[in-house]
Amino acid sequence: MYKKLNSMQISLDDSGQPAGMHLSPNNRWVQKAAAIPWRTLEKDYARLFPAHTGNVAKTFRMAFGALIIQTKYHYSDEELVQQIQETPYLQYFIGLPKYTEEPPFDPSTMVWFRKRLPIDQLAAINEQIIAFNQRRLAANSDQAKGSEHPKADRPDAANPQGLPNRGTLTLDATCAPANVAYPQDINLLNQTRQHCEKLIDAFY
């Protein structure tokens, strides 16, 4: 049996925290949560529970969120539950409405999470997340173009001819070619042989 929540996309204002505890919107787990279309993905997950009786299953956000955390940090099932129990940001990420000192689920539940979200389904979910964020970036870009005066067509020191912007150039120094031989390079052995032959010829 599965029970849908009224709101899967919990905002920071909806998250009830103890007095004096504040969740930063710049935290990586808060930003990760905003980048996942929880409600859309939950619809597909709910189809795995056609029965209307029995124990209520854990939410999709809790199952998928726990798998993401475990994959990132390589926690064991027991360690994962302890980390979530101790960290408000992780509790927010898996959809708990407020901080609690109680474990969110038993470590053995992770076995069921992995069975209900196999690799092929996770790949499909990943595609939906990518598409969701592409639409979100496109919408933000359209809003920015509508609210700001375009600067690409105006001449300045960096663009004296006033040419339109054709994209972003990304440079990564880690990709620069380097003429460095690796220790397992067979050419090093050949070079050593050649130098030894020259020494032998010089001495004899």
pLDDT digits (tens, 9 = 90+) for 55-107: 888 999 999 999 999 999 999 999 999 999 999 999 999 999 889 999 999 99
pLDDT of residue 85: 96
Amino acid at 115: K
The Cα 94–Cα 87 span in angstroms is 11
Asked if residues 83 and 73 have their Cβ atoms less than 8 Å apart, the reply is: yes
67 vs 158 pLDDT, higher one: 67
- The pTM score is 0.64
> What's the mean pLDDT in 152-158?
53
> What's the mean pLDDT in 161-167?
68
List Cβ<8 Å contacts ≥24 apart for 190-194: none
* Residues paired with residue 98 on neighbouring β-strands, in sequence order: 16
Tokens of 201: 């010829």
Residue the block writes with tokens 């397992």: 184
Other Cβ atoms within 10 Å of 122 Cβ, number: 15
Other Cβ atoms within 10 Å of 61 Cβ, number: 23
Tokens of 187: 């050419």
